[in-house]
Structure 1
């Protein structure tokens, strides 16, 4: 399991780049981008910026389409309760038949995923 990632284009804000990268890689239209955390990235001396976006599930915005830049082989939505079990309960193969593997806890990807599943239902980032 990973999260979409990419680079800023000249004159883009972090928020605009986040929306663009999510759309290019997954076809998903998002809004309300919040910067969550940063992490030094040594390849080649970059700063990784982790953001969380909101998607309005309206039958259109959440539809996954991988044909814009064909960077990903697959993308899918996961139920937060399932991901919470992966983080906290290690459900084993019976509860995880597809063998979904989380990123390492030190990574921004893991911290983003964990923040989303730990978020109280009524709150927003």
Structure 2
């Protein structure tokens, strides 16, 4: 798993396309989140064209245990071709209060979706 931080945009990009297992991805992500608790308030792009085959509810539950409610509404965009990921995303909305989980076809489409959502929130705040 690779990760990139974009501080100016407050976006965390997690790239799972290297064939990493869900166990290993979680093992790598937890220290990043523990070291930088502000990342919970950033928008995330989880780039997993194919979701790791070994991912289970227990993996998501482990992450939910660490969850810190974001200071603002935050997004997680799954860049994936997994046709069932939208079902997991909906469940995760309940596991991570204040964070919305959406699907995009690519990381680039995910960045655009974050931009659209942020613009809509600014317009609603006016």
Q: 1 or 2, which has the higher strand percentage?
A: 2
Shorter-chain TM range is under 0.3
Whichever of the two has the greater Rg, that structure is 1
TM-score where L is the length of structure 2: 0.23
TM-score where L is the length of structure 1: 0.24
Q: 1 or 2, which has the higher helix percentage?
A: 2
